Structure 1
Amino acid sequence: MNLIQTLLYTGIFFFAITGALKARTHQMDVFGATVLAFVTAYGGGTIRDLLINVPVNWVNDYFAMGLVVAAVLIISLFRINMVRFRKLIFFTDAIGLGLFTAGGIERSLMFGINEGYAVIMGVMSATFGGLVADIICGEVPNLLKRGELYATACLIGGIIYLLLKKAGIEYNTGLFICVVIIVAIRIVSKLKRLTLPEI
C-alpha cells in the first residue's frame, strides 16, 4: 500500500466516522447510518473520479468498504452525550478534509490532470461527500455555511501543497504539511469565527 492509498483509506475511515456520528444525531438506525457513512466517505471521491474519467476508487475494493462498516460498528458501540458528538464530528471532519484534499490532488495528478484542476478535484474530494450527506439529513451543508472556512481551508492547503512540491520539498513532508494546514485552518476559523466577506 503506497502513501496515497494510505491517505485515502484513512480519510475514508474518518469521513465514515463523521457520517455515522451524524446519523446518530438524526436518530437513524444501523442501515441509515451505513448509508450516510458511505455517502460521506465516498461521495466526493466518486464525483472526482467520474469527472476525470477514471475507475471509481471504491468499486471492487472490499477493504475500503470494510472501513465504512467498521466505522459504523465502532460508533454503535459508544454512548456519549450529544455535545461531545458535535465536537467529535467537527474534529473527525477536519481531519478527513485534510486527508482527502491531499489524496484527491495526488490521485488527479497521477492521471494527468493539470495542477490547477487537481486542486479543484482535491477540494471536491474533501467536501462533496459531506455536502450530499448534509442534504440527505435536511441540513444546510457546511460547504455553504457563512462563517466557516470549509472548502476555503482545502483550497489554501492544496495550493500550498503544490507550491511546496514545486520548491522541491520532500514528497511525504509536503503531504503532511498540507493535511496539517487544512486541519489547522478549519479549527482556528471555527474557534476565532473567521469568515469570508459577504458579496
Structure 2
Amino acid sequence: MNIDFTTIIDYIGTFAFAISGIRLASAKRFDWFGAYVVGAATAIGGGTTRDLMLGLTPFWMHQPSYLIVTGLALLFVIMFGKQVIRLNNTFFIFDAIGLGLFTVVGIEKSLLAGFPMWVAIIMGMTTGAVGGVIRDIFINEVPLIFRKDIYAIACILGGLIYFACDFFAVGHITTQIITAGSVILARIVAVKYHISLPVLKGNENQ
C-alpha cells in the first residue's frame, strides 16, 4: 500500500491534535470515553467541517484509521499520563503541531477538489482551527480562535506562504514542510513574545 506524504502528515496531525484534546479532557477529569470523544472531535472536527463545506463525504467515513489513530493517542496519554500532564507546555506543543500539519492538509485537499487558492487558504484555516473550537466548547472553555491568541491567523499566514511557494515553483514536499513549519513557528513566537490581536472593547455602560 502506497501512502503519500500528505497522508503521513494527516495521520501525524490527527495524533497530535487528538493528544491535545485528550490532555485537556484529562485535566477536566473526563472518563476514558469522554476523553476519546474530545480527542476525536479535536482531530476530525476541522476536516469534517471542511469536507462538508466542499460538498464531500467526511474523510473519516471512508477511512476508519483516523478513529484508530485517536484511540492510539488515548492509549498514549493513559500509558504516559503522568509525564504528559506534568509538562505544562505539552498541550501547546501538540496543538501547534496539529495546527500546522492540518493547515497543509486542508489546503491540498481543497486544491485537489478543484477549488481556487483563496478557498484553499480558508479551508486550511478551517481544517486547522475548527477542531480546536469544538474541543474548547466540549470542555466548556472559550475557544482559542475567539481570544487574543494568534491561532487562526497563523493558519492564514501558512496559506499565504503555501501560495507564495507554489507561485515560485518550490518543490511540493518542501512547500508542505515550509507551510507547516511557518504555522507552528508563528504560534510559538506569538506565545513566547505575547503577540496578540487587539481586543474589541464594548461599551461598559450598556
The bucket for the TM-score relative to the shorter chain is over 0.9
User: Which residue in 1 is equivalent to 2:90?
Assistant: 88
**1:28 counterpart SS class:** coil
Alpha-carbon contact 2:106-2:124 (below 8 Å) kept: yes
Q: Which TM-score applies when normalising by structure 1?
A: 0.95
User: Which residue in 2 is equivalent to 1:132?
Assistant: 134
**2:29 counterpart SS class:** coil
Following superposition, the deviation at residue 81 of structure 1 comes to 7.2
Tell me the alpha carbon deviations over residues 146-178 of structure 1, each in whole angstroms, 9 at most, x when there is no partner.
1x1100111101111111111110110011000
Gaps of 5+ in 2: 201-206
User: Which residue in 1 is equivalent to 2:153?
Assistant: 152
1:39-188 equivalence runs, <5 A? 39-78=41-80, 79-80=82-83, 82=85, 84=87, 86-146=88-148, 148-188=149-189
Gaps of 5+ in 1: none
Query: Aligned partners of 1:129 and 1:46: how far apart in 2?
Result: 9
Alpha-carbon contact 1:149-1:186 (below 8 Å) kept: yes
Cα distance change, pair 82–69 in 1 and its aligned pair in 2 (3 A) = closer
Q: Which TM-score applies when normalising by structure 2?
A: 0.92
User: Which residue in 2 is equivalent to 1:21?
Assistant: 23
Count of aligned pairs: 197
Query: Aligned partners of 1:9 and 1:99: how far apart in 2?
Result: 9
Cα distance change, pair 81–75 in 1 and its aligned pair in 2 (3 A) = closer
Tell me the alpha carbon deviations over residues 36-62 of structure 1, each in whole angstroms, 9 at most, x when there is no partner.
010000000000000001121101412
Query: Aligned partners of 1:174 and 1:12: how far apart in 2?
Result: 20
Query: Aligned partners of 2:101 and 2:44: how far apart in 1?
Result: 13
Query: Aligned partners of 2:178 and 2:32: how far apart in 1?
Result: 36
User: Which residue in 1 is equivalent to 2:198?
Assistant: 197
Tell me the alpha carbon deviations over residues 102-155 of structure 1, each in whole angstroms, 9 at most, x when there is no partner.
110000000011100110000000000110110111101111111x11001111
The amino acid across from 1:77 in the alignment is: M
Alpha-carbon contact 1:99-1:179 (below 8 Å) kept: yes
The amino acid across from 1:103 in the alignment is: V
RMSD: 1.2
Cα distance change, pair 125–81 in 1 and its aligned pair in 2 (3 A) = closer
Query: Aligned partners of 2:67 and 2:142: how far apart in 1?
Result: 27
Query: Aligned partners of 1:139 and 1:44: how far apart in 2?
Result: 18
Following superposition, the deviation at residue 89 of structure 1 comes to 0.3
The correspondence for 1:11, drawn from 13, 18, 22, is 13
**1:149 counterpart SS class:** coil
Cα distance change, pair 105–81 in 1 and its aligned pair in 2 (3 A) = closer
Rg larger in structure? 2
Query: Aligned partners of 2:10 and 2:85: how far apart in 1?
Result: 28
